Structure 1
Amino acid sequence: MSNNLNDIEVFPWNKNFETGLALIDEQHKILISLLNKLAVSLVRGSALEINNIFDELTKYAEFHFETEEGIWAEYFDSDSWLASHQISHSTFLPKVIELKEKNVQKQKTEIIESIILFLIRWLAFHIMDNDKRMSLVVHNINKGLSIEEARNAADKKMSGSIRVLVEAVMAMYDSLSSRTLALMKESHERQKVELELNKANKKLRKANIRLETLAITDQLTGLYNRRHFNNIFAQELRRARRGKTPFTLIILDIDFFKKINDNYGHSEGDQILIRVSQKLKEICQRPGDFVFRLGGEEFGIIATNLDCQGTMEFAEIIRKGVENLKIPNKYSKVSQYLTVSIGTFTKEPVENDTVDSFMSVADSRLYKAKRLGRNQFVSGI
């Protein structure tokens, strides 16, 4: 069975419903199509959709009854049979409305069962018994029989075994429609569950991405953290070793940061760390640049494809970039503004190079920059 509710029919058209009158058969097909649409809307449970299709069904039923009665009137005129048929038509719409209003307070499943099964049985029986019988009369009249002869012939054909067949077909349709409705409801509920599962999976994926981001991100500055530094360092070191390209590590430290925290307060210190981080992200825009907060006021930068001269130029850009923020630091001994000291190490890595070996060299150069007076970088091969 299709997973699409619109492809499912609770009342499939059958050749047994054909009366042989093209216009009536075509209108019966449309009525059955509207009934199937109503079944789908009831399963979905959309009140607006249900009301719209109910209105469409009742309007078309009125149109069809009027058309059909006009055809029968040409042959039966004031015959009591035509009056009986008209009464049958006149009871259909009030019964539909009654079922609809009576079931407002009931569960959706009960509405489906009562309304749809009534419509299917009424329409199928009306077509197979009343309309087919009357169409047989019309065909017999067209063959030259009198109306009485035509009626007797139709009654004879529709009685006995044919009547049993009608009942058998009706029982089959009742059973088929109930099972189909159950399958439709099951399919609809499954689709709702799948939709909820998809939503839950999307939320879970977002949560996982968020957790992954939190795991590698420094919460204050938004830079990568020390844990991710180790991962990226190992990854990029291997890449540089394979490609025989230069690999650069830059370590920088905010000058006299302890005095900032002691005198301006830790909140002001945090704001300074955030501003410096933003400047570093702004400067490090190349695809091979990675910026990290290693801890406290210490930052690390991994850069690829920079030779020694390029590293020195890059370090000076960083130093000037931070100083040009013009963040006041009256406790500094080297400038009225915030500054940084930088140590760098650039080389084409070999097999025994590690994060520790690079950190050892870069750190020693950072502390040399501090000993030499801060607000500068120390580089070399």
Structure 2
Amino acid sequence: MSAVLDIGSHKVVCLIGQQDSNMGVRIIGSGFGVSAGLKGGVVVDMDAAEVGIRTAVEKAERQAGMAIQSVSVNVSTRSLRSQQMEVHTEFASGEVADRDLTRVIESSLSELAQPEDAILHAIPLNFSVDGEDGIRDPRGMFGSKLGVDMHFVLAGIGPLRNLAHCVERCHLRIKSAHVSPYAAGLSVLTDDEKDLGVTVIDLGGGITTSAIFRDNRMVHVDAIPLGGQSITNDVARGLSTPMEAAERIKTIYGSALHGADDDYVNIPCPPMGAQDTLHHHPKSLLTSIVRSRTEEIFELLRDRMTDAGLDVYAGRRIVLTGGGAHLTGVREIAEQVFNKRVRIGRPNGVLGLPETIDGPDFAVATGILKAQFMDIDEAISGPPDLSGRRYRQRRYSGGPVGRSLQWLRDNF
């Protein structure tokens, strides 16, 4: 049995699931809460965030008929970033063994570790033996020099500490952490998509994150501090209406595509103040506002992907998840901006999924749940190191004599 939390800017989702023999993962409890204490994936009001988490967890526990002590959580902050690193180590000429893989991977962890960042994912992309690269599993091969290409996903320790503290205030322990677009990819992508190249874009309320998959590995992560809330803010300003009304107007009338009768359809907009009267604006104005911000989000992601040299490497497909994927016309705008095939991703591979949580806005939660029962090829597991010392200590432990003795123990 495992429990997961998807803590977003608008809602908190708690899922409790268990392994169903030969059938996959089955949900036995689900709960939702209103998230009022997060902005851009970062906790800004500890009390409000705690209320949302407690509400979601209590509902899921009641449905599952059990109490939970630990949860796996999502991470979605603007500090998310990817870093690639190539590390080589020498060993006594002979057959590559497990200890050699462990040593070269631990060496990369210690070289990367910094006090201001936490390592969320450490994924070996390829190995090399005596200069021959592109090797998936070098064990059993012969050589004297082993190398590894690592992909690290990092996030600022400060926001993670606040998130962990908020979860702990609910008397829960963090079991593991997964970046949102990675979890969404585990939920909605097919094996062929992950192998040939695909980009997952998770359109959240306060932040939009993306992950590129290639050769069945996640190879890049990015985040921009814009999301569905940015569109709502624009609607509120453009139509001179309160935020709550702007959210309803966006949900009911909002579209990123212009319609033939937009100039003739008037949208009722509640006034800002008590002395004002109800006013109307043509739907074409709302569509222009929604389209402008939607295009900006996709253009920013496209340009950042191009600057990283990953546009072609990412393949010809994009999958949209998150609450923003419900917006009418968002798929068509993404196709125009990226010039790629785009589809809306929905959770798959999870049994007992209620109709209320089978949409793209629940891809992250179901993906985290699936990850608990998958054999994922990563170099680290468990909760992230928020002390900033776990891997740095390995770098500085022992002097030249100590390192020499360790090398002798590993090789003879």
Q: With the length of structure 2 as denominator, give the TM-score of the two structures.
A: 0.17
Q: With the length of structure 1 as denominator, give the TM-score of the two structures.
A: 0.18
- Which structure has the highest strand share of the two? 2
- Which structure has the highest helix share of the two? 1
